Amino acid sequence: MTELLEDLEEQRSKLNKKAEQYRRRRDRLNNTARRWADKRDELNAKSRDNIDKANTHRKKRDKLNEEVKKAKVEREKLNKQVSEAQQKLGSLKKKHLPKDGVTLEKLRREVRNLEFKQMTSVLSVEKERELLELLSGIQEQIREREKLLEGNEEIQNIVKERDDSKQKAEEAHKKVSEYADTAQKEHDAMSKFYDEGDGLRREADHAQQEFIKAKTFADEAHKNHVEMVRQVHDFDKIIAGLRQKKAKAKREIAETTVKKEAEDIYERFKAGEKLSTEDLMFLQKAGYL
C-alpha cells in the first residue's frame, strides 16, 4: 500500500504542477487580452472623436455649399440684369447717336490702335502729323457722342442700372469664390478626419481580433486548469481513503499485538507466576483487570 500511495502522490504532484502551469498561462493570457481590450477601446474612442470632427466639418461644408448655390443664383440673376441693361443701352445708343454705323466702342478701339502705332512705329514728321490729326478727330467724335449720351437721362439711368447690377454681380461672384474656397477647406478637413478615423478603426479591429485570440486561449487554459484541479481533488480523496485504510490497518495490527501480549501475560498470571507492576498495568489497560 505504501508503494501505491507514493505512486498516487507522485501523480497528484504532477497534476498539481500542470494545474499551476495552466493557471499561470491563463492569467498571462488574460492580462494580454485586457491590454488588447484597453487598446481597442482607446482606438475606438479616438476613431469616434475623429468621425465626430469629420461630421462637424461635413455639416459646415454642406452649409457653405448651400451658400455657394444661393450666391450663384444671385450672380446669374444679376448677370442677366447686366445683359438686359446692356441690350437696352445698345438700342438707346443706336437711337440717339449719329446713324453713321460707327459705335463708340469701335472709335475707342481705333484710338487705342493709333496710339499704339504712334508709340511703336518710326514715322516721318509729316506722317506723324497726319496720324495726330486723325487721332484728334476721332477723339473729338468720341467726346461729342459721350456728351450726347451724358445729356440723355434715360441712357444715364440705364448705365447706372447696368453698373449697379455689374457691381452686385461681382460681389456675388466674390461670395461664390469665398464660400467655395471655405467649403473646400472644410471638405479637406472632413476627408482628413474620416481617413484618420478609418485608420484608427482598422487598428481597433486588429486589436479586437488579438483580444479574441488571447481570450480564447485564456479560456482554454482555464478549462484545462479546472480539469487538472478536479483530478487533483480526486487524487486527494483516493489518497486520503488509502491513508485512512493504512492507519486503520496499523491500528488493527497494533491492537492484535497488544491483545496477544495481554493474553500471554494473563496466562502467566493464571499459572501463578508473579507479575510485575508494569505487567499488571498492561493487563488493566487491555481490559483484563
- Domain assignment of residue 27, yes or no: no
| Of 221 and 264, more confident | 221
Q: Taking all residues of the chain, what is their mean pLDDT, rounded to a whole number?
A: 85
Query: What is the Cα–Cα distance from 42 to 77, expressed in whole angstroms?
Result: 53
Question: How much of the chain, in percent, has pLDDT values that exceed 70?
Answer: 85
Cell matching residue 153:
437721362
Cell numbers 445683359 correspond to 83
Task: Kindly report the backbone phi and psi dihedral angles of residue 101, in degrees, each rounded to the nearest multiple of 5, phi listed first.
Answer: 85, 0
Residue 93 lies in a domain: yes
Is the pTM higher than 0.75? The answer reads no
Residue-wise pLDDT tens digits, 64-80: 999 999 999 999 999 99
246 located within any domain: no
Which are the contacts of 158, defined by CB distance < 8 A and separation ≥ 6?
85, 88, 89, 92
Q: Are 61 and 183 in contact (CB under 8 A)?
A: yes
In a domain, 156, yes or no: yes
Per-residue pLDDT tens digits for 205-258:
999 999 999 999 999 999 999 999 999 998 888 888 877 877 777 776 666 777
Going from the C-alpha of 236 to that of each of 5, 76, 162, 225, 226, the distances in angstroms are: 11, 95, 107, 16, 15
Q: Tell me, what CATH number does 152's domain have?
A: 1.10.287
Residue 159's domain spans which residues? 34-201
In a domain, 162, yes or no: yes
For residue 243, what is its C-alpha cell? 491513508
Q: Looking at the domain assignment, is residue 185 inside a domain?
A: yes
- pLDDT, residue 219, reads 96
Q: How confident is the model at residue 162 (pLDDT cuts 50, 70, 90)?
A: confident
What domain count does the chain have? 1
pLDDT at residue number 91 = 77
pLDDT digits (tens, 9 = 90+) for 93-147: 676 655 655 666 777 888 888 788 878 887 788 888 888 888 888 887 777 666 7
Which cell numbers hold the place of 216?
480564447
Q: What is the pLDDT of residue 240?
A: 83
Report d(CA 191, CA 61) in Å as an integer.
11
Q: Is residue 173 part of a domain?
A: yes
Among 77-91, 139-153, 187-201, where is mean pLDDT lowest? 139-153
Asked if residue 26 has pLDDT above 60, the reply is: yes
CA–CA dist 112, 265 (Å, integer)? 159
Residue showing cell 487538472: 228
